[in-house]
Amino acid sequence: MVKLEDWLQKAKRLTLRALFCGLFVTALLNTQSPLAATAPSEEGGWFVNMGHFAASAHGTFSCEDCHGNMNQGKTMHPDSNAPTFLHADANRLYDYKRCKACHKPSYEQYLSGAHANALKKEQKEPSGKYDKLPENKKAPTCGSCHSAHYAKAHLSRVEMGRQTVSVCAACHPAQAATYLENYHGKAAVNLGDKNAAFCTDCHGAHRCVSLKDKEAALNACRRCHPEAKEGFAQVVIHPTTQDPSEMNNEKRSHVALIRVVTVLMAILAILIVGFFYGHSFVWILRELHERLRKHK
Amino acid sequence: MKTLEKQQTETLIRFSPLQRMLHLVVMIGFTGLAITGFSLKFSAQWWAHGFAWLVGGAGHLAYLHRFFAMVTYACVVVHILWLFYFKLALKGSITGPQSIFPRVQDIKDMFQHMGYFFGRRGIPTFNRFTYWEKFDYLALFLGMNTMGLTGLFLWFPEFFSTLLPGYFINLAQVLHLYEAIIAVALKFVVHIVTTHLRPEVFPVEKTIFTGRTTREKMMHEHPGELENMEGMTWENE
C-alpha cells in the first residue's frame, strides 16, 4: 500500500512537472512549503537550553514550579550512578497531571479525546511492548505535542496553525500531506489565510477526534460552512489510504475513484498537450527549413 | 484568377468589432483566471506568494478568480447570443465550410498539413478557419462550459453536495485542475507559438486585435476564405 502511494505521488508530481516544462522554468516549482521553516527541533532529551527557555511562554517560572523538589511524596530523584540514568524517555516520565493546575480546560479536553484513549490502551498492554516503538508511534502525552520549555506565547493564529500542522505531521504524515494538497491547507499554511482551517479547527485542539463519525464531521464542517447538509461531510479532505484502521470501505472506494479519475485526466492531458507541442515544434522546424532554403 | 488581378496589399477585414472585443476580454479574463487559480493550486511556490501578496491574501485570490470567471463566462453568453443572431437574423451558416464548425475536411487538412511538415505534400487550401484554429476555439468554448460547471461545484460545495454525494466535489476539483493545466498549456504555449512566434508570422499577428489583414496574407493563409469573400459581400459571409 505504501509503495503504491509513493508511486502515485511521484507519478503525479512528474506529470505536473512535465506539463509545465514549456510553461515555467523548473525553478519556479522548486521552492519549499513554509512548513519546512517552522519545525522546532530542540525537543526531547533531558537537557534544557536555558537561553531559549527564558524566551518561552513559561520563561518566568522557576524549575521547581513544574518539577517540584524531586523528592516529595513517593517520587525520588533517580540514581545518577545507575546505568540507565537519563536513558528513559523524558516525555514519558514526567507527570503531566501537573499541567492541569494552570491548563484545566485543555487538560480535560485531552482526557476526553482520542490521544488520551490511545494512551490508556497503551498503558493496559504489558510493559515493554510500546517501549521499542519510535516516538511517533507512541500515544502522545502533553509533552509530545507541546514544548513546555520552548513554546512561545502570543503567536498569531497563522504562526500557531503552521506549528500545529508540523507537530501533527510528525505522527500523521499522510494526513498532513493530504491536508496541504487540500484547499484548506493551501490557503491556511501556504498563503497564511487566517480564515482557513488548520488541523485543530476541525479535529479539536485537545480532543483530537478522528471525525470518522459522520455527525461529528458534519458539525466540524458547519463551524465554517453553516449551510452544509449531510452529503457535505462526504467530501474527502484527506484522500489517503495510509492508516487503514481509521478508514471505512466507503471512503476507501471514494479515494480509489478520485485516483482513477486523476490518472485518466493526467493521461488525457499528456496526450493532448504532447500532440500539440510536437505539432508546433515540427511545424516551426519546417518553416525554418523553408526560410533558410529561400536565402540560399 | 480573379484574385490575382487585384492589389496585393489591399486591406481586408477578417474580424468584426464584436469578435475582436470578445477575444480581448476573454484573453484578459483567461490570464486572470490562470494566475489566480494557479497561485492557489501551487500556493507553496514563491511566485504564488508574490501574487497572493499583490492582491492581499488567499481570500482575495479566490474572490478575483470568481470575478474573472464571471467576466470570461459572460463572453461565452454574449457569443452564444451572437450565434443565434448570426443564424436567425443574418441568415448566416454556422456549420458551413466558412464556419468554425468541425468538418471531415479538417481531419484531411490535418494529415495533409502534417505531410507538409515533412516535405511530402503542399499546404492545404485553408478556408476561414484552419483545423488548429477550430481546435483552439472548440477547446476553449467547451472548456469554458465544463470549467464553469466544475467551478460552480467548488464555489457552492454546500449546495452541490445536497444534489450529489460529497466526493463529487473532489472529482470536480480533479477535473478543474487538469483541464486548467491543459488549457493553459495549449493557450499560453501552443496558441501563442502557432499564431505569433512561428517564423512565418513572427513577431506578432495583429489581425485579431485590429480586424485587418492584407490580400497577400489571405492568399497565403486562408485562400479558401479569400475566394469566398470575393464571391460574396462581407455581410453574408
Q: pLDDT tens digits, residue range B105-141?
A: 999 999 999 999 998 998 999 999 999 999 999 999 9
Q: Do A265 and B175 touch, CB atoms closer than 8 A?
A: yes
Under the banding of pLDDT at 50, 70 and 90, the label for residue B8 is low
In this model, does residue B235 exceed pLDDT 50? no
Q: Which helix (H) or strand (E) holds B13?
A: strand B11-13
Q: Which residues does chain A have within 8 Å of residue B138's beta carbon, measured at their own beta carbons?
A: none
Choose, out of B66, B110, B121, B161, the residue to mutate when testing the contact with A (most A CBs < 10 Å).
B161
Give residue A68's pLDDT.
79
The partner residue sitting opposite B199, judged by closest CB among A257, A277, A288, is A288
Asked if B44 lies within 8 A of A33 by C-beta distance, the reply is yes
CA distance A162 to chain B (A): 13
Least confident of A57-61, A245-249, B159-163: A245-249
Give the closest residue to A52 by CA, choosing from A152, A143, A142, A145. Answer: A152
pLDDT in tens, B184-214: 999 999 999 999 998 888 888 899 999 998 8
Q: Chain B: residue nearest A36 by CA? A: B44
Choose, out of A16, A260, A265, the residue to mutate when testing the contact with B (most B CBs < 10 Å).
A265
Give the closest residue to B33 by CA, choosing from B2, B1, B5, B73. Answer: B73
List C-alpha distances in Å: B105 to B96, B110, B140: 11, 9, 21
Residue ranges of domains in chain B: 16-92
**Which residue has cell 492508516?**
A243
C-alpha B126/C-alpha B121 separation (Å) is 14
Give residue A43's pLDDT.
56
Q: Chain A: residue nearest B110 by CA? A: A279
List C-alpha distances in Å: A118 to A113, A121, A241, B209: 9, 5, 21, 67
**Which residue has cell 458547519?**
A222
Choose, out of A218, A238, A247, A286, the residue to mutate when testing the contact with B (most B CBs < 10 Å).
A286
Give residue B223's pLDDT.
87
Winning range, highest mean pLDDT, from A90-104, A223-237, B71-85, B86-100: B71-85
C-alpha A187/C-alpha B93 separation (Å) is 48
Cα dihedral A197, A201, A206, A209, rounded to 10, equals: -100
Give residue A1's pLDDT.
53
**Which residue has cell 436567425?**
B88
CA distance A202 to chain B (A): 17
- Across all residues in chain B, what is the average pLDDT? 90
In this model, does residue A6 exceed pLDDT 90? no
List C-alpha distances in Å: A137 to A88, A115, A147, A221, B116: 17, 12, 18, 28, 64
Higher pLDDT, B35 or A68: B35
Asked if B59 lies within 8 A of A261 by C-beta distance, the reply is no
DSSP-based three-state secondary structure for B160: helix
Give the closest residue to A270 by CA, choosing from A73, A1, A22, A6. Answer: A22
Copy the grid coordinates of residue A192. 497564511
C-alpha B179/C-alpha B183 separation (Å) is 6
Winning range, highest mean pLDDT, from A24-28, A83-87, A176-180, A291-295: A176-180
In this model, does residue A39 exceed pLDDT 50? no
Residues with Cβ within 8 Å of B170's Cβ and at least 6 positions away in sequence, in order, are: A235, A236, A239, A254, A258
C-alpha A29/C-alpha B42 separation (Å) is 8
Per cent of chain B over pLDDT 70 is 94
List Cβ<8 Å contacts ≥24 apart for A248-253.
Answer: A248/A212
